[in-house]
Amino acid sequence: MTRAHLSRPALAAPSFALIAALLAAPPVAAEMPAGVSSFTLDNGLQAVVIEDHRAPVVVQMVWYRIGSADEVAGKTGLAHYLEHLMFKGTETLAPGELSRTVTANGGSDNAFTSYDFTTYFQRIAADRLPLVMRMEADRMANLRIGEDDWQAERQVVLEERAQRTDSDPAALFGEEVAAVQFYNHPYGRPVIGWRAEMEGLTRADALDWYESHYAPNVAVLVVAGDVTADEVRKLAEEHYGPIPAKPGAERQARPQEPAKRAERRMEMRDPRVPQPVLTRSTVAPERNPGDQETAAALSVLAELLGGSAQTSVLGRELMLTGKAVYAGARYDGLSVDPTTFALTVVPAPGVPQDEAERMLDDAIAKFLRDGPDEAALERVRTGLRAARIYEQDSAHGRAYDYGQGLAVGLSVEDVNDWPDILARVTAEDVMAAAALVLEGRPGVTSWLLPAEGATVAQGAPVGSAAADPAATPAGRGMADPADLSGDTPAANAGEPAAPVGPADIPAPDAGAAAPVPDASTGDTPAPGTSAPGTFAPGTPPPGTPSPDTPTPETPAPPDPVAHPVADPVAAPADAVPPVGAPVERQPSPQPEQQP
């Protein structure tokens, strides 16, 4: 039997141009996660839908790409002030009626402001989404501020500053450190504002800010929960679609920091401070669209240096040896402009300041000489992968993840790619990042100290509930999605009861002060305590884990959903907090209702 031999066509040798193009091609973008979709309306409103059908609950978040860093000089606190006034009603809603309606339907709502964004959200039964979307769209276009409301609410934000900042030496010192860290960029100004400038804010200021910056073309709508993409798109087109875009509403370029040539040192004493706290911080690159590799390496570096009391570099060198009661590192790249990388040490009682700085210098010098331990690097990678898996368990957390990312200028693809970029960080990448922020770059060294002659406290125990400054995203703290909305489904969620609409809520008695929006979401600072300032700009209310950092958190400052990588350690409560963290709305006292 004769076999036919088929000749094979000769293969053309690949051209050098083709090989070069293939080698230069960027990594393939991560696929869109199951149940996540996005679209943009004709008026520029960008929307993300996250389907999660495990419970008949939905979260709606509207993120405006405008924050306190966009304020003009002399008007600090204006973005946060308007956030409060956004609850004062529209042509169809009485003051406080939006929040009372949400509460009457078994839901919760609130808002928070950071350097780079201002956010409003509701968590409610899924069949009430049309109701809350209608009201949210109404205040996007039709806000009304009464002559009596603006002065009363200004007093509320002043009292909020008195409670959260003026009465806390760490917060006061953090503001001053931020001002020195960023002496040209607006990240050096507090989100809540300087008191003297807050006292001068007017109704006209608030309305001008609203008319200039609140528009669909600078907003991001995120809906997560028991919904479908088609349902959300239909509702968004119905309620947000008719609102016209505003040319010029986008944030303008901000003044940037000049090159720093001199190291800066600061020291503050206060009798309320129980123990010395040393912080070293320097300006560092942020996450940028299509360019997140440096930020990923800095995130891994922060975790390697200070993510665990037992296994991190500073934990082993300073805490386990008894030289310090706390040591940590902080970085959060979720910001519009450069943020900060910071190291914090609380020396053991009796350790002099110069000795504490020498110990920190020695630990960092050893790391720069030896490089990262491969087992530790793999442990961080494993923690990051685990955090990504756990992250899928919270619809609110995922909504926060996409909302904040898009609010600071990233794309949906950038948010999707982030976990894979973190997983690809190598030892060489980490050392390049370390050289960037640890080798001779001028920064700020600050000491927050007890009063002269005061007895030094023994330090917060490992695992205490105190806020961990190193774990909070620098730049802006984000509130943990769970803290902002609560983990328990809204009351009556899924029940067939008819929605309670604004018309069904009795109006307050004439002459009585209108009740302010209900704050059933808790008193946690809004996401974003992680702020540029001392540490890094950006971030959820304090206590939320940051998506950028594998370190487990309780909230990130406010930050969403990052589960502990390994034995986290809490920093002393008096450690200097990140400045610029998102400030969550604190409602004014509710007036008694007349029978």
The residues with which 190 forms a beta bridge, in sequence order, are none
pLDDT digits (tens, 9 = 90+) for 536-570: 333 333 333 333 333 333 233 333 222 222 233 44
> What is the secondary structure of 385-437 as a DSSP string?
HHHHHHHTT-HHHHHHHHHHHHHTT--HHHHHHHHHHHHT--HHHHHHHHHHH
Instruction: Find, among 291, 381, 391, 285, the residue nearest to 331 by Cα.
Output: 285
CA angle 358, 359, 365 (to 5 degrees): 85
Nearest to 185 by CA among 331, 332, 288, 69: 69
Residue 151 C-alpha from the chain's centroid: 29
3-state helix, strand, coil in the chain (%, to 5): 35, 15, 50
- The pLDDT of residue 501 is 62
Please confirm, yes or no, whether 159 is among the known catalytic residues.
Answer: no
Q: Is residue 591 part of a domain?
A: no
If you search the block for the tokens 């450690």, which residue do you land on?
Answer: 575
In-domain check, residue 310:
yes
Q: Is 202 helix (H, G, I), strand (E, B) or coil?
A: coil
Return d(Cα 535, Cα 541) in angstroms, integer: 14
Q: What distances in angstroms separate CA 580 from CA 171, 187, 314, 528, 556, one per listed residue? A: 10, 7, 26, 6, 13
Distance CA 575, CA 470 (A): 9
The predicted pLDDT at position 431 comes to 97
Spatial contact of 78 and 209, defined as CB atoms under 8 Å apart? yes
**48 lies in a domain?**
yes
Contact assessment for residue 118 and residue 64, using Cβ atoms and an 8 Å cutoff: yes
Query: Is residue 443 included in any domain, yes or no?
Result: yes
Amino acid identity of residue 310, one-letter, is Q
- What would the two tokens of residue 374 be? 């491969």
Q: How many angstroms from the chain centroid is the CA of residue 7?
A: 64
**What CATH number is associated with residue 376?**
3.30.830.10
Tokens of 167: 């009465």
* CA-angle at 96, arms to 93 and 101, nearest 5°: 75
| In the block, residue with structure tokens 């993300």 | 48
Whether 343 is covered by a domain: the verdict is: yes
Say how many domains are in the chain: 1
- How is residue 475 written in tokens? 């730049």
Q: Parallel, antiparallel, or unpaired: how do β-strands 264-269 and 444-449 relate?
A: parallel
Would you say residue 595 lies in a domain? Answer: no
> Does the residue 4 lie in any domain?
no
Cα 500–chain centre separation:
32
Classified as helix, coil or strand, 206 is helix
| Count of residues in the chain | 595
What pLDDT was estimated at residue 383? 86
For residue 500, what are its two tokens?
A: 């309670």
Cβ-based burial of 490 (10 A; exposed 0-12, middle 13-18, buried ≥19): buried
Per-residue pLDDT of the chain (595 residues; tens, 9 = 90+): 433 333 333 434 444 443 344 344 455 556 788 899 999 999 999 999 999 999 999 999 999 999 999 999 999 999 999 999 999 999 999 999 999 999 999 999 999 999 999 999 999 999 999 999 999 999 999 999 998 899 999 999 999 999 999 999 999 999 999 999 999 999 999 999 999 999 999 999 999 999 999 999 999 999 999 999 999 999 999 999 999 999 999 999 999 999 999 999 999 999 999 999 999 999 999 999 999 999 999 999 999 999 988 999 999 999 999 999 999 999 999 999 999 999 999 999 999 999 999 999 999 999 999 999 899 999 998 887 788 778 778 888 999 999 999 999 999 999 999 999 999 999 999 999 999 999 978 999 999 999 987 776 665 433 333 333 333 333 333 344 333 433 333 333 334 455 656 555 544 333 333 333 333 333 333 333 333 333 333 333 333 333 333 333 323 333 322 222 223 344 555 555 554 567 766 665 443 333 3
Q: Are 124 and 57 in contact (CB under 8 A)?
A: yes
User: From the candidates 83, 136, 303, 584, which is the catalytic residue?
Assistant: 83
Is pTM, for the whole model, over 0.85?
no
Distance CA 437, CA 279 (A): 14
Domain range for 460 is: 28-485+521-583
Distance CA 557, CA 540 (A): 4
3-class secondary structure per residue, 157-200 = HHHHHHHHHHCCHHHHHHHHHHHHHCCCCHHHCCCCCCHHHHCC
Find tokens 């001028």 and name the residue: 442
Is 174 inside a domain boundary? yes
